[in-house]
Structure 1
Amino acid sequence: MAVHDISALESGASSVERVPLSRRDAILTSIDRALGHLVEIPAALLVVAEVIILFIGVVARYGFHRPLIWSDELSSILFLWLAMLGSAVAFRRGEHMRMTALVASVGPRMWAFLDVVGTCAALAFLLMIVAPSFEYAYEESYITTPALQIANSFRAAALPVGISLMIVFALLRLVRYGQVRTVLTALGTVVAIIGLFWLAEPLLRTLGNLNLIIFFVGVVALCVFAGVPIAFGFGLAIFGYMALTTHTPMMVLVGRMDEGMSHLILLSVPLFVFLGLLIEMTGMARAMVAFLASLLGHVRGGLHYVLIGAMYLVSGISGSKAADMAAVAPVLFPEMKARGAKPGDLVALLSATGAQTETIPPSLVLITIGSVTGVSISALFTGGLLPGVVLAITLGVLVWWRYRGEDLSHVKRASGRDIFKAFIVSVPAIALPFVIRAAVVEGVATATEVSTIGIVYAVLAGLLIYRQFDWNRLKPMLVDTACLSGAILLIIGTATGMAWGLTQSGFSRSLAAAMTGLPGGGATFIAVSIVAFVILGSVLEGIPAIVLFGPLLFPIARLVGVHEVHYAMVVILAMGIGLFAPPFGVGYYAACAIGRVDPAEGIRPILGYLLALLIGLIIVAIFPWISIGFL
């Protein structure tokens, strides 16, 4: 089972926990199904609306030189609705990502119990945040959008609506669960833990920044390893920290979640997810894989090298690692699985390539560093190419080692004629990444809009060239897009809340002060920076981390004699390793969601890839020429 579906787990434990279906159960199931359709249909339509609005904006601006000033604003309004409705769909389906490494080893009965605990924990967070979300939406009614001149509450209302829908789905799931004792025990467990924290509030308020470890390490670890969905584990940690150790209104947390989920550049996530599904459905994926396989299929680990190279090529075109992975994985994973690759190893390598390609332009992290630190963006773009190559080589060496004994006796080496024929067929598919990158570089479309060009290109190629376009699959694909995107975006939203909590605690200032006084000059500063940003990367997205710490640490780098472009590459790669390192790295769970693989399956394989990335990072750190040699 690639992604643990909570309802499926319940079915799997039927011999232990379920009772025969009653009339009440049938009614509740019908209600759940009807409500699910009512959520899925608008979620699917929102994906279509976003594609149309953004593509029309590109045509109007670039084709007719008459930009639509309202297109980005309307897209932003609809995007938050897409994220929240998608989260509700994912909750109903049980497709919010969670770690099951420990849960899977405790036996069916305990697994079923912890499964219900996960639902109760998610419900607890939703119930605690629903009132502040309504308050936040009401406060936003006083703000008028600049272009459309409508109250911002039309956008912000997506938060309480989505949260309320998830509460309803959680309650339906608990009521439908056959064993009342299990549900009551799980509810009692969650309430007892929350009650203990509430009683400890006077003590917690005296502990200062020790609370960061208690909540952001302890609570998150407890939730993650108990199988609570990652987004809700993060949410419980930041809610507990803010409610029990600060006097901050909870409406602020909702605002930070809004900020994290509705950043317009993240709109590329659902659009690239949909593009990946289109590439598969239209036959473009098969054409591309057939050509790549004809070139490297006879080489041991050949398609793994292709995955590394493909991520290098498409990286940065969307501004989001999740979107980059969503564009590549559906193309390569099916054939790689057919050749015997294990899903856990595939998602581990996908995560590793996400970290590997963080410095490759055009990268929003590079642009952000330039904007907040004053470093030349063109220098950062030039300096970012070779570090990605170095990490690609270290990953390639590990792929060679792991697959040096791969049995390819069943794989026939393609002839030159076969390779040429496969190339001709695949040209429209292979051209897609270059079309997308050219559209960004030439200014035809922004990093957000460019995915719509890819979607239109894929639709036309499927209809006119490959003649494969299954209209019956369109609705399920749109719903799957909304579902997967909602699961990813809710994790980003709660992680953004955690990032805000770190900032408000004064941790960033304390970190900068400590690093300024380090002995050993630039070498020690870089070494400590690597450790610090690996840790920070596990709880922060790249852009928020750079905004928080870039203005503090880059001046220190200059003082200790470290070239700022070199330091930028080291920091970005270290942060990328943290971002994709389990058990806390958000990017790892995004990769698992995109690959539809249980996170537990990728834990062991990714350790080797993380070591390879770390070796590559150390090489980049020791030899500044790799980053600044072509400046």
Structure 2
Amino acid sequence: MNTIAHSLGAAPAAPESGQGSAKSRRLQLAHVADRVFASAVEALAAALIVAEICILFAGVVSRYFLHSPLVWTDEAASILFLWLASLGAVVAFRRGEHMRMTALVAKAAPHQQAFLDTIAVAAALAFLMFILGPAYEYAAEEAYITTPALELSNAWRAAALPVGLALMCVMGIIRLMRVGNWRLVGSAVATVATICAAFCLVGPVLRELGNINLLIFFVGVTAATVLIGVPIAVAFGLATFGFLSLTTSMPVMVLVGRMDEGMSHLILLSVPLFVFLGLLIEMTGMARAMVAFLASLLGHVRGGLSYVLLGAMYLVSGISGSKVADMAAVAPVLFPEMKERGAKPGDLIALLSATGAQTETIPPSLVLITIGSVTGVSIAALFTGGLLPGVVLGTALCFVVWLRYRNEDLSKVRKASRSEIWRAFRFALPALALPFVIRAAVVEGVATATEVSTLGIAYALLVGLLLHRDAKWSRLFPMLVETAALSGAILLIIGTATGMAWSLTQSGFSTSLAQAMAALPGGAPMFLAVSIVAFIILGSVLEGIPAIVLFGPLLFPIARAMGVHEVHYAMVVVLSMGVGLFAPPFGVGYYAACAIGKVKPEEGVRPIIGYVLALLTGLAIVAAVPWISTGLL
């Protein structure tokens, strides 16, 4: 996923020379510093996740069951959440897990890859240093605000940003030290410094260019940095920082404020909690139990295990909200048996990727949560509206499976007996019930979309303790760290993308975009068609969440003005991005599926064509029939 882990790996053996010994000592020092630094930050981030779960769960129990609301829980959760987001971003930066596009970098020669990977670290370090000072100023300004319930200075919350940025700077320096090749590091740092200096020198000229700067920074700088493998969050941040500091009189502290706004929206707290729930479901064996039950029902029919894969991804997506966690839970259970029945690895990966796109709207999808946070659309309505579109796309995929496996040889496959099916059902029942428990808790008002994840976590822990006694509880801490890293990576993107979206709005771009979209011939159908094409492209390059944060606030008001229901438009947009995300050659989700299935990417390119055509057909049906998205509301 990220080649920088290889270029910054273990230090080479030290030569006998004094220079070699000095180099070895530097590498050893960097390694020790990295290990100590990582242990402290990871432990704190894991503790914050546990604290958030306990606070929100206590709020639900106190309000709904004890009828004595705790007025301070949301406020405490909000304060800790910004710290969790900041420290999670540090963990992700240390582990090289911030989202980045590596399709072009992977095709470069090894020495070029090492240079581009070092450039990515140096560019990230430059951005962090640029906004560290404004972040400190922002935290100091927040000291004059007092929180209403806890009566604390808001600086306690806002300080998470400068502290997190400073820790990421330290981590960036350690990563550069661990490269071990000072010539490589020097050339990368010099390249980044030269480019930054060049922009500063032409600053007076840029101020005279007006809105052309939108193309220079938000298209040129963003595209260039993303394509060479700079983390997407850093690419957004550099473009926005450059635009504000070089072409406007706006203080850069505004960018920090918009980052705070984007990263600390309380509804986004459900992101790390649902990610952890998905990992917990996999660890306790609940996901495996669901798959085993479906296999007992359909394993004896032609293409049966492919149908099981489709159904399992639908059910697991309704629990975890993380597509990588979904695929990692389902694929290892089914792939071995499917290969024994003669399925080709490339076809398995193609189907796995297609189901990833199919289930993007299944609640509690992280993309749906993000849409709700940035556009104001009801999360409960999005969760309800996402069920049927997934069924439509799943039906289209089932048709392709039927075509491909209608002549499968099942002479050696035994049909499960009724007693075996009943036994598998009883074992899987607690897992099968969880998606319905989550949805019922939101619909009935037991918990909010943020709080409901804590009920799912408590449910999964209880089921794991009582029914799945072989669960590896020693994995809890690594799971918490993994949750913090993934959440930090997502939330930093949301933060910098919020800053970019605000800059685009202030520049008048949103007004121009609205006028252009409204002037399209054909009205709402043409608007939907253009949106589908645009978000397929955006999904393949930026992935779903950054694309939504950037363009959701701009396009959803236009959709409402043109008479398109906001939930219907959300389903069309999410499914379009899913197709782009999981389709080669640029879709990051496709390569994640290949990594999980341990299959070379080129093996799945031809088989996935049929599945992509089925997805596009299903997407067209969803776009043409609004009732599919809104009928259950």
State TM-score, norm by structure 1: 0.84
SS of match in other structure, 2:469 = coil
Q: Which residue of 2 aligns with 1:550?
A: 556
Aligned to 1:7: 5
Please name the residue that 1:434 is paired with: 436
- In structure 2, which of residues 470, 480, 483 is the aligned counterpart of residue 481 of structure 1? 483
* 8 Å contact from structure 1 (residues 269, 485) kept in 2: yes
Q: 1:303 to 1:127 in 2, by over 3 A?
A: farther
Report the Cα distance in structure 1 between the residues aligned to 2:601 and 2:196, rounded to whole angstroms.
31
Residue from 84, 87, 106 that aligns with 1:85:
87
Match of 2:169 among 167, 170, 173: 167
Match of 1:499 in 2: 501
Distance in 1 between the 2:499 and 2:411 partners?
52
Distance 1:43 1:51, change over 3 A: same
Corresponding residue for 1:286?
A: 288
Given candidates 71, 74, 85, the residue that maps to 1:72 is 74
Change (3 A) 1:238 1:306: farther
Equivalence for 1:348 = 353
Spell out the pairing of 1:175-574 with structure 2 (5 A cutoff): 175-298=177-300, 302=304, 305-306=307-308, 308-309=310-311, 312=314, 323-325=321-323, 328-338=326-336, 339=338, 345=350, 348-349=353-354, 351-357=356-362, 386-398=388-400, 413-531=415-533, 542=548, 545-555=551-561, 557-558=562-563, 564-565=564-565, 568-570=567-569, 572-574=571-573
Residue 542 (structure 1) shift: 4.4
Pair 28,624 (structure 1): closer, same or farther in 2 beyond 3 Å: closer
Are residues 494 and 60 of structure 1, via their aligned partners in 2, closer, same or farther at CA, if it must alter by over 3 Å? same
Shift of the 591–40 alpha-carbon distance from structure 1 to 2, 3 Å rule, reads farther
Q: CA deviation at 1:56?
A: 0.6
Superposition deviation, residue 258 in structure 1? 1.5
Q: Match of 2:568, as an amino acid?
A: M
Query: Could you tell me which of 60, 63, 71 is aligned with 2:62?
Result: 60
Q: Give the Cα–Cα distance (whole angstroms) in 2 for the partners of residues 181 and 467 of structure 1.
A: 53
Contact 1:54–1:72 under 8 Å retained in 2 = yes
Distance of aligned partners of 1:426 and 1:385 in 2 relative to their CA distance in 1, 3 Å threshold: closer
Higher mean displacement: 48-57 or 262-271: 262-271
CA distance in 1, matches of 2:244, 2:582: 23
Q: Secondary structure at the match of 2:580?
A: coil
Deviation digits for residues 419-457 of structure 1 (CA, Å, limit 9, x no counterpart): 222111111222211211121121111111111111111
Residue aligning to 1:37: 39
Could you tell me how far 1:152 is from its partner in structure 2?
1.1
Paired with 1:304 and 1:210, the residues of 2 have a C-alpha distance of 50
Q: Distance in 2 between matches of 1:451 and 1:349?
A: 26
Matched letter for residue 270 of structure 2: S
Work out whether residues 142 and 154 of structure 2, in 8 Å CA contact, stay in contact via their aligned partners in 1: yes
Residue 26 of structure 1 is matched in structure 2 by: 28
Note closer, same or farther for the CA distance 1:19–1:178 as it changes in structure 2 (3 Å cut): farther
1:155 to 141, 154, 157: 157
Q: Distance in 1 between matches of 2:242 and 2:195?
A: 11
Contact conserved, 1:121 with 1:190, CA < 8 A, in 2? yes
Structure 2 vs 1, CA of residues 408 and 335 (structure 1 numbering), >3 Å: closer, same or farther? farther
Superposed displacement of residue 116, structure 1: 0.9
Q: Which amino acid aligns with 2:323?
A: M
Amino acid of the residue matched to residue 577 of structure 1?
S
Partners of 2:388 and 2:311 lie apart in 1 by 13
Q: Residue 321 of structure 2 aligns to a residue in which SS?
A: helix
Residues 66 and 410 of structure 1, relative CA distance in 2, 3 Å threshold: farther
Q: Given that residues 384 and 569 in structure 1 are in contact (C-alpha distance below 8 angstroms), is that contact kept between their aligned partners in structure 2?
A: no
- Structure 2 partner of 1:561: none
> CA 1:28 to 1:520, structure 2 compared with 1: closer, same or farther past 3 Å?
closer
Segment drifting more, 384-393 vs 275-284: 384-393
What is the alpha-carbon distance in structure 1 between the residues aligned to residue 375 and residue 253 of structure 2?
Answer: 32
Distance 1:515 1:479, change over 3 A: closer
Q: CA deviation at 1:464?
A: 1.4
CA distance in 2, matches of 1:606, 1:486: 32
Task: Compute the displacement of 1:39 (Å).
Answer: 0.7
Would the aligned equivalents of 1:355 and 1:580 in 2 still touch at CA under 8 Å? no
Partner of 1:578: 577
Contact 1:436/1:450, CA 8 A, preserved across alignment: yes
Matches within 5 A, 1:610-629: 611-623=613-625, 626=628
Q: Which amino acid aligns with 1:151?
A: S
How far did 1:616 drift? 2.6
Letter in 2 for 1:569: H
Counterparts of 1:14 and 1:206 in 2: how far apart (Å)?
51
CA positional deviation for 1:47: 1.0
In structure 2, the CA distance between the partners of 1:503 and 1:594, relative to structure 1 (3 Å rule), is farther
CA 38–175 in structure 1, closer or farther in 2 if over 3 Å, else same = same
- Is the alpha carbon distance of 1:66 and 1:463 closer, same or farther for their aligned partners in structure 2, counting shifts above 3 Å? same
Output the amino acid matched with 1:323: G
Deviations 1:139-185 (A, max 9, x none): 11111111111111111111111111111011011123211111111
How far off its partner does 1:228 sit?
1.6
CA contact (8 A) 1:352 1:609 kept: no
- Whether the aligned pair in 1 keeps the contact of 2:9 and 2:178 (CA below 8 Å) is no
Residue 112 of structure 2 corresponds to: 110
Conserved 8 A contact 2:101-2:231: yes
Q: Which residue type is aligned with residue 574 of structure 1?
A: V
1:489-527 superposed Cα distances (whole Å, 9 cap, x missing partner): 212222222222221221221122223333444544443
Change (3 A) 1:81 1:61: same
User: Can you give the 5+ residue segments of structure 2 that lack an aligned partner in the other structure?
Assistant: 340-344
Letter matched to residue 191 of structure 1 = A
Query: What CA distance in whole angstroms lies between the structure 2 residues aligned with 1:247 and 1:515?
Result: 30
Cα drift, residue 95 of structure 1: 1.9
Shift of 1:63: 0.4
Q: Residue 443 and residue 450 in structure 1: after superposition, are their counterparts in 2 closer, same or farther (change >3 A)?
A: same
Q: Which amino acid aligns with 1:45?
A: A
- Kindly provide the CA deviation profile for residues 35-87 of structure 1, in whole angstroms up to 9, marking residues without a partner as x: 11111111111111111111111100110111111111111111111111111
Would you say the 8 A contact 2:259–2:495 is kept in 1? Answer: yes
1:111-146 Cα deviation digits (max 9, x unpaired): 111111111111111111111111111111111111
In the aligned structure 1, how far is the partner of 2:120 from the partner of 2:428? 45
| Aligned residue type for 1:278 | L
TM-score relative to the length of structure 2 = 0.84
| Distance change in 2, residues 1:481/1:407 (3 Å) | farther
Check the 8 A contact 1:53/1:75 in 2, yes or no.
yes
Q: How far has the Cα of 1:303 moved from its partner? A: 5.3
Question: Which sits farther off after the overlay, 461-470 or 527-536?
Answer: 527-536
Secondary structure of the residue aligned to 1:11 is coil
Moved more, 204-213 or 501-510: 204-213
Q: Which deviates more, 361-370 or 18-27?
A: 361-370
Instruction: Determine if contact 1:288/1:429 at 8 Å carries over to the other structure.
Output: yes
Distance 1:14 1:222, change over 3 A: farther
Is 1:95 matched with 2:93? no
The one-letter code of the counterpart of 2:357 is A
Which residue pairs with 1:136 in the alignment?
138
